């Protein structure tokens, strides 16, 4: 029995190991290739680089106008995530505390439709709207769209989490004379921390990696995000490896670092974000 268990475990490690290799080889390839010449990469794709030089990264960094593109991406992601947390937490809270009311049910249903349907179907109307509002080529456009698109799921998460917070806590504050808003911000909102973290993580991943929104709404180069820089430079398949691979790495580096630093939290966020959903 024990031996059987050991064989089973060995087999399991073997299979999981193979899967891990399949997952990691492309990532390894991406990174080591940045330190190789084109011929070197073609002849010895898996070998460790013979020398580590950051020269090609420097070049890619300049070509992509990285600091600017990074800042744009950061602003879009940060403001959108902040906006989602503020609006969705309030909305989810109100919908939960007035769950029985007709208006609440209607609003919830309306917002839920945003989870089922991808916004991409109405991108042309959106394009027109953004143009008419004179928001074209402004970070604000992408931010507002990102908030609107990602809000429904966040509302959903907040609404279900609020139901675990006893109303009694709020009533105590109410007796002390605090209004609905004050009670929410002082008492309830701090208790929503776990969901806030979940919403922040999920949306950081989605919005940072969103390519379509910026592609449609940000046209000038000063406004573009990291992925648009990647697209602009690698748009046409090229054999100029030494300059392209560092760009790909720079394209994924920020989130990769974010993930490596907060791996447990990111996975935890995805996990709790879905179990409640």
Partner 1 sequence: MSRRIMRTVLGAAAALTMTAAIGLPAMAEGKTITFMCWYDEDDVAGVIDALNEELGGEYEVEYSYVAQSDFNNVLSTQLAAGEGPDIVADGTNYPARIKAGNVLEITGEDFLEEFNEAGFALCSDGDQIYGIPSYGWFSGIWYNKDIFEANGVEVPATFDEFVAVCDTLAQAGVQPMSFGLADGDSALHSVLGYLENSFYHNNDANPDGTDFDVKFAYGEANMNGSLNDVVTKWSTLIEKGYINADMLGISNDQAVADFIAGNAAMLNGGPWQYTNFADAGMNFGMMSHLSESGENKYMVGGPAVNFGINANTKDPEGAMKVLKAFGSVAVQQAFVDANVGGFSYRSGVEASMPEEYDGIKDIINAGNIACTWDRWSVNMPSQSLFDEAKAQLQGLISGDYTVEDYLQTLDDMAANIRFE
Partner 2 sequence: MKKKNKTDRSAPYIMMTVPALVIFITFFILPLIFTARYSFYNWTNYTKEITFSGLDNYKKLISDRTLSKGIANTLQYAIINVLLQSLIALPVSVALNSKLKGRNIFRAVYFTPAVLSTLVVGYLWKYLLSASDYGFVNQIITGLGFEKVNFLGNGKTGLWSIILIEVWQWFGWAMVIYLGNLQSISDDLYEAAAMDGANAWDRFWHITIPGLAPAIKINLVTGMISGLKVFDIVLSTTNGGPAHQTETILTLMFSKFSDGNYGYASAFGMVFLAVSMLLAVVLLGIFRQWERRLE
Number of residues that bind partner 1 (CB under 8 A): 34
In angstroms, what is the minimal distance from the CB of 16 to partner 2?
5
Among 240, 257, 271, 277, interactor with partner 1 by CB under 8 A: 240
Per CB under 8 A, 12 contacts partner 2: yes
CB 29, min distance to partner 2, A: 6
- Candidates 147, 255, 143; CA nearest to 201 is 255
- The entry of partner 2, partner 1, none near residue 26 (CB within 5 to 8 angstroms by kind) is partner 2
Binding-site size for partner 2 (CB under 8 A) equals 89
Determine if 275 is a binding residue for partner 2 (CB under 8 A). Answer: yes
41 lies in the site for partner 2, by CB under 8 A: yes
Q: Is 194 in the site for partner 1 (CB under 8 A)?
A: yes
Q: Does 97 bind partner 2 (CB under 8 A)?
A: yes
Q: Does 219 bind partner 1 (CB under 8 A)?
A: yes
- With CB under 8 A as the contact rule, which of the stretches 54-62, 99-107, 136-144, 152-160 interacts with partner 1? 136-144
Nearer to partner 2, 19 or 71 (CB): 19
Q: Which is nearer to partner 1, 2 or 264 (CB)?
A: 264
Residues 178 to 217: which contact partner 2 by CB under 8 A? 179-181, 184, 205, 208-209, 211-212, 216
Distance CA 104, CA 163 (A): 14
Q: Which residues bind partner 1 (CB under 8 A)?
A: 68, 71, 74-75, 78-79, 81-82, 85, 131, 136-137, 139-140, 143, 193-194, 196-197, 200, 216, 219-222, 231-232, 235-240, 265
């Amino acid at each position: 029995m024990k031996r059987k268990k050991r064989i089973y475990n060995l087999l399991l490690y073997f299979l999981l190991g193979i899967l891990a290799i399949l997952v990691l080889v492309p990532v390894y390839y991406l990174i080591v290739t940045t330190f190789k010449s084109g011929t070197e990469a073609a002849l010895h794709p898996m070998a460790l680089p013979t020398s580590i030089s950051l020269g090609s990264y420097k070049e890619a960094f300049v070509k992509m106008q990285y600091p600017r593109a990074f800042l744009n991406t950061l602003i879009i992601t940060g403001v959108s995530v902040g906006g989602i947390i503020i609006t969705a937490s309030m909305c989810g809270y109100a919908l939960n505390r007035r769950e029985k009311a007709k208006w609440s049910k209607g609003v919830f249903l309306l917002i839920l439709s945003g989870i089922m349907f991808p916004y991409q179907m109405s991108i042309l109307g959106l394009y027109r709207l953004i143009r008419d509002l004179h928001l074209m080529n402004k970070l604000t456009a992408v931010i507002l769209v990102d908030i609107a698109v990602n809000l429904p799921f966040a509302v959903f998460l907040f609404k279900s989490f609020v139901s675990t917070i006893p109303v009694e806590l709020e009533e105590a504050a109410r007796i002390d004379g605090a209004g609905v808003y004050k009670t929410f911000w002082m008492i309830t909102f701090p208790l929503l921390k776990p969901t806030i973290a979940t919403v922040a993580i999920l949306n950081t991943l989605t919005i940072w990696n969103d390519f379509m929104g910026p592609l449609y709404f940000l046209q000038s180069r000063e406004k573009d995000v990291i992925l648009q820089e990647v697209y602009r430079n690698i748009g046409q398949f090229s054999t100029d490896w030494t300059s392209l691979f560092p760009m790909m790495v720079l394209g994924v580096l920020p989130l990769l670092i974010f993930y490596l630093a907060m791996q447990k939290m990111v996975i935890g966020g995805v996990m709790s974000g879905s179990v409640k959903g």
